[in-house]
A and B are shown apart, each in its own frame.
Chain A
Amino acid sequence: MANVVAINQYKLKRKRLEQTTVDQDRRVQNQKWIECLVKVAKTQDQSAFQSLFNHFGPKVKSFYVAHHLSPQIAEELVQETFISVWRYANYFESNKGQVSTWIYTIARNKKLDYFRKTNRQINTTELISDDIAVEPGEQYTTRIGEELTFFLPQLPDEQYEVIKKVYFEQLSHQKAADTLNITLGTVKGRIRSAVNNLNKLMRGGL
């Protein structure tokens, strides 16, 4: 058992080391956006806000269009997203992470809000693993006083990719298979394994 833990830790360290260079670039970029947000929050700096808008605005529009909204609605929701970025810039906690994640969560909530107001059903994709998530025994007991550990770096890359495509990009299983150049069966298998692994990782290690 101790060996398994040691191997997992080693794998994790190696993976983190490999990611260091990529992370370095992302950190520098992120730092720049954090500074912009701080300027918006503290001095209502319009040019810092415009930099954020010019960089993230088109991406947010792309996000809405990818989630099956018309370009007109996407444009409107970009406006609403950035009104919130302006108003709530002081909510961003720079120690907690990426500006892109913060903007993503606002954009996601604006989309849900739009769906609710227009009584539109959420596109939930074809989630074969739905039964896994809610079957008896799915609920688990958390370890009290558990230390905060990051579980995503421990997920095999191919499972991470499938999760990203199917849940976050909301691609159908077939489209995810085509994009990743694997079979439909492999996609389904990877989702199943990823969800199983995440359940174990969230409980405190594989």
Chain B
Amino acid sequence: MEELFKYIPFLIPIAVIQLALLASAVVHILRHNSFRFGNRLMWLIICVAVNIIGPVLYFVIGKGDD
């Protein structure tokens, strides 16, 4: 446990970023219906399952232009 406390100053901000990315990506997926490839379910799974990289991938290559 003591080992873990050393990393608290990192863990909290990283968790905040991850949750913010996840929330914005999920909201965006649910409100838009155009994807460059794949479908809504696929992107939802990617965003939820892959921390940080999933939402970033969605915004970079998955989001369709509208």
* Pair from one complex: no
Question: B-contacting residues of A (Cβ < 8 Å)?
Answer: none
Question: A-contacting residues of B (Cβ < 8 Å)?
Answer: none
